[in-house]
Every structure is written in C-alpha cells, then in structure tokens.
Homo-oligomer: A and B are copies of this chain.
Amino acid sequence: MHPLTTKFTALMNIQSPIVGAPMYFATTPDMVVAVSGSGGFGFIAAGFESSETLKKQLQYVRSKLNVAAGIPLPTGVGLLGWILDKTEISDDPRIPAVLDELPAAIWFAFGTNLGKYVEHVRAYDEKRDPEKPHKTLVFVIVNSVEDALRAANEWKVDVLVVQGTEAGGHGGASAPPLLNLLQGVLDAIPTDGPAIIAAGGISTGAQIAALLTLGASGVVLGTRFLFTPECMYSDQMKAVLLDAGLNSTARSLAFDEINRTAMWPEGIDGRAIANNILVDYREGKLDLETRLKKADADKANGKTDRLVIWAGVGVGHVKEIKGASEVLRCLHEETVAALITIAQLQ
C-alpha cells in the first residue's frame, strides 16, 4: 500500500487516512481488527456494555492484531455522551476501564457536556505510571463551526470529526452538508489546532481524495463498512442497503422511536433507510404504540419495510459486499489514484 501522509496520519502513526466509524448495532471487533490491521484506524462502538465486555473486546482486538501487552493499541473506542452521563456515575464507570486497555484514541459523541469526559481522559493519563506514559488521543464529533470552536479551544481535543448532514446513524439534525461544514471548520480552526477529519456520506476513494484536497487530513467512513461480512447487520438488512440509492435515506427521530432508543440529546437525530417507519410518522395519524406494533409485526413476518436500518447518503454508491480489510485497501488505492490524476492536471 502506497502510504499517504497527512497531519492526521502522522498524529495516529497510520498509513491510511481512513477511519472506520464506531457504529453501535453495526461495528464488530472483527471490523475494527480489519480496519486497524490494514493501515486505517478502527473504533469499537460502545453502547451500554459493561466495562468487562468493553475490556474483552479490546483484548480480542489486541490479540488479533498481535499487539503485545503494554503497547498502545492502534484502535479506539467510541463512547456516547448521554450514555456516559449514566455509566460514569454508576459503580462501573467505563472510561477508566477502557483507558486501562491502552487504546490509542477515544471518540466522544452526542452529550450535553462532553468536555467533562475529555477531562476524565486527561486526568487518567496524568495519573499513569510515569515509567509508562501514554497520551490517549481524544476525538470529538462536531456538527457546526460553533461545536468545533468549543471542542478545540475549551476542551483542547486532538481530533475534530466534522460530520455533515449526509452521515448515517446519529448526528446533528441541522448539520450543514459536508462540503460547506468542513470548509467552515477549516476556516475557523488555526492550522496548529486539532487535526480535522471529515465524516458523512463518504463511500468512494474519489470522495476521500476530494475531502483531502479541500483540507481534511483524514476521513471517517461508516456506511461503507456496513457492506462487509464483519458488519453485524443481518443479511436481510444488507440486501436493503444493496438496493438503496442516493435518495433512499432520511434524517428523522421516527427511527429512534421504533428502535426504542429515543433518548438522544436535543438537536440530534438519525439518518436511516427511509421506509414505512417514516411514512407512518409523517402521516401523523398513528400513535407511537400503534406504530411500534406495526413495525414489530412486519419484522416478525420477515418484512423489511419497517426495519430500522441506519445508513448515510453514501449508501447509494455501494453495490457489493466484501471484506472490511479489502474495502479499506481498495478505498485507499482509489484515493491515491484520484490524487495522482489531479496532480497531473497542472
């Protein structure tokens, strides 16, 4: 693999600027192994799992990647702010347990006070054995220029994940399209600030090359990695993805209602396949209980038109299932090829 060197790849000590998004309900430890093991950077997606489960997942990744104990893992853990608000005051706080496993990075998303958790990470690293120092790199997802300025200036994060409205799964309900949001963040954050990486709707190497040209130093792909055997989506859900086009998704809170996960902070919603869940919701005639019954019944009957299938706009570009490791390598080579082509323009 022809390595690409950017501010982000240098910071992470990786060969490819491609990050696999932490996707709860979709990412598996095997997906993380494939992405981190092929030159990119993968994130485990934490939901409500116990510390023990998260530690086991990290230990599994360590063993599969053949990284010796005591050496930082070239992988990360994605944590949700509103879940941390519950777990970190419980008798089983997740952040210290996770950090104990030496992940290279932690990714925080969707909380009303993520700064507090950034502090937890910094404090944990401060207290490590001075003989074995480790700085956990902190990623925070941002959906506006204001978010980016706060994360950079107040929380001093290491990496800003700039997520446009195109992104699948959860994100800012009023996030601008990526081509504008990324430009806005690049204009607002000084070059000696956090590394800036782009997320949302990205499924091809040409798009990655474009975003690097715009000024991102890395990219995050989620939906692209749903089309892999490593993704925990069912074959039925993957068949829906394979059929989807550029207008097959929509942002709405309707999906979380049916998923029984409608506890996200204000201003956050989710993008998923726009199926009958959305039709029912927009018609506005059925109460939630009735809508849940319809969705449960359809699911029980093997139908797909009321399944919650989180996916981004980039779902429309992918027409095959292949291994996550091959996906990463192909995307990287497509990116290099697009950059070589454009370099020849001048």
Contact = CB atoms under 8 A, between A and B. Distances in A.
Nearest to A184: B246
Interface string A88-114: 000000000000000000000000000
Contacts of A345: 4-6, 212, 339
B184 A207 contact: no
Contacts of A164: 177, 179
A193 interface: no
B210 A211 contact: yes
A281 to B, nearest CB: 18
A213 B215 contact: no
Interface residues of A, number: 48
A204 interface: yes
Interface in A302-346: 313-314, 316-317, 336, 338-340, 342-343, 345-346
Contacts of A210: 179, 210-211, 213-214
A317 B187 contact: yes
Nearest to A343: B343
Interface string A163-187: 0111000000010111111011011
A7 to B, nearest CB: 11
A217 to B, nearest CB: 10
Contacts of A187: 317
Interface in A147-199: 164-166, 174, 176-181, 183-184, 186-187
A179 B180 contact: no
A206 interface: yes
A221 to B, nearest CB: 13
Interface in A1-59: 2, 4-6
A134 B2 CA distance: 48
Interface of A: 2, 4-6, 144-145, 164-166, 174, 176-181, 183-184, 186-187, 201-204, 206-207, 209-215, 245-247, 313-314, 316-317, 336, 338-340, 342-343, 345-346
16 contacts: A4-B346, A176-B247, A177-B177, A177-B179, A179-B210, A184-B317, A207-B214, A209-B214, A210-B214, A212-B213, A213-B338, A213-B339, A214-B338, A215-B338, A339-B343, A339-B346
